[in-house]
Amino acid sequence: MKRIAVVTSGGDAPGMNACIRAVYRAGIYSGVEVYGIRRGYAGMIDGDMFKIDRRDVGNIIHLGGTILGTSRSEEFRTPEGRQKAADQLLDKEIDGLILIGGDGSFKGGNFLSEETGIPVIAIPGTIDNDIVGTDFSIGFDTAVNIALESIDRIRDTAISHGRLFFVEVMGHTSSFIAFEAGIAGGAAHLVLHDGHQEVEELCSHLQTLFTRGKHHAIVVVAEGDQPGCSFGIAKTVSSRIEMESRVCVLGHTQRGGSPTSRDRVLAAKLGVCAVNALIDGKGGMMVGEVMREVVFQPISEVVGKQRETDPRMAILSRILTGY
């Protein structure tokens, strides 16, 4: 293998740049040229590629987002679009592809590998942490810490005004951010993506807390597939327990900013192992980390599945919220 390419696709996640840097350095260390593909799959179809040099990856390890850019390409969803992308890779004499992204990106990468035979190694990069086959995905730890910092700041205002706050975190249909940020932030209650209808239960719990003398509370809400759902929940709860509330939707602030050390190290580890996997002749695989060990799984066995939260986290949450 003499020439490989790296692409970031789907939603950006803190640590993607650290991973791009690791891919480049691992490639150069092994005598392999590394090309960057701009704008995700859309750029691949257009042939928007360039040879990465040392200056391109200098001082990017601490940056959020992705220097390559990203997008979602409808054309790549078709066999014709993927063939265009493959032709561009072959025209540039690319021998293998490293893909950094989430489940939707993995589906496209799996089709590309199966239909064209181009070796693809996928690296999980999403704040949702919903990819099976890995304990953590790049960006998750940073997103949790950003949410936690926001919760800590909001608590100051909640205490000062004796107010109920609803803090909505991202995660799509995954509740991992809500669980970890809520537990670490001492939330009074967690409303997970599959529990938006449990308003009666939430009201009862909050009323019990206020009866015991608590004069403020923070409820962490997982956005689920309805971003902004916190406003409806807050309105209903406030009317039933007669307490003024405020809503803070963190939104895309969780996707930006400098990655944590944990995300940088994970990105470095997975990036280097992905390059080595391509050199060793692997393809159609995802590289992840399970119990601190690097593992590989066929992309076909990963796509379309969602990593489930540990049931023990729900028990832990109930214990710590006094529910």
Displacement of CA 208 from its chain's centroid (Å):
35
- In the block, tokens 């990468």 appear at 109
Bridge partners of residue 221, in order along the sequence: 168, 191
Read off the DSSP letter of residue 83: H
3-state secondary structure of 96: strand
| Strand ranges across the sheet with 293-298 | 49-51, 33-37, 3-8, 96-101, 120-124, 285-290, 293-298
Cβ(204)–Cβ(234) below 8 Å: no
Q: Which of 128, 130, 141, 263 is catalytic?
A: 128
Give CA angle at 286 (133, 29), nearest 5°: 130
Read off the DSSP letter of residue 248: E
Q: In the annotation, is 87 catalytic?
A: no
In the chain, the amino acid numbered 127 is: I
Helix 261-279 to helix 16-29 angle (10° resolution) is 40
User: Which phi and psi (to 5°) does residue 80 adopt?
Assistant: -65, -40
3-state secondary structure of 321: helix
Instruction: Report d(CA 23, CA 126) in Å as an integer.
Output: 18
**Helical (H) or strand (E) element with 314:** helix 311-321
- Tell me the C-alpha to C-alpha distance, in Å, between residue 234 and each of 9, 44, 94, 170, 307: 35, 44, 52, 17, 29
First to last CA, the chain: 57
Cβ(281)–Cβ(297) below 8 Å: no
Active site residues: 128
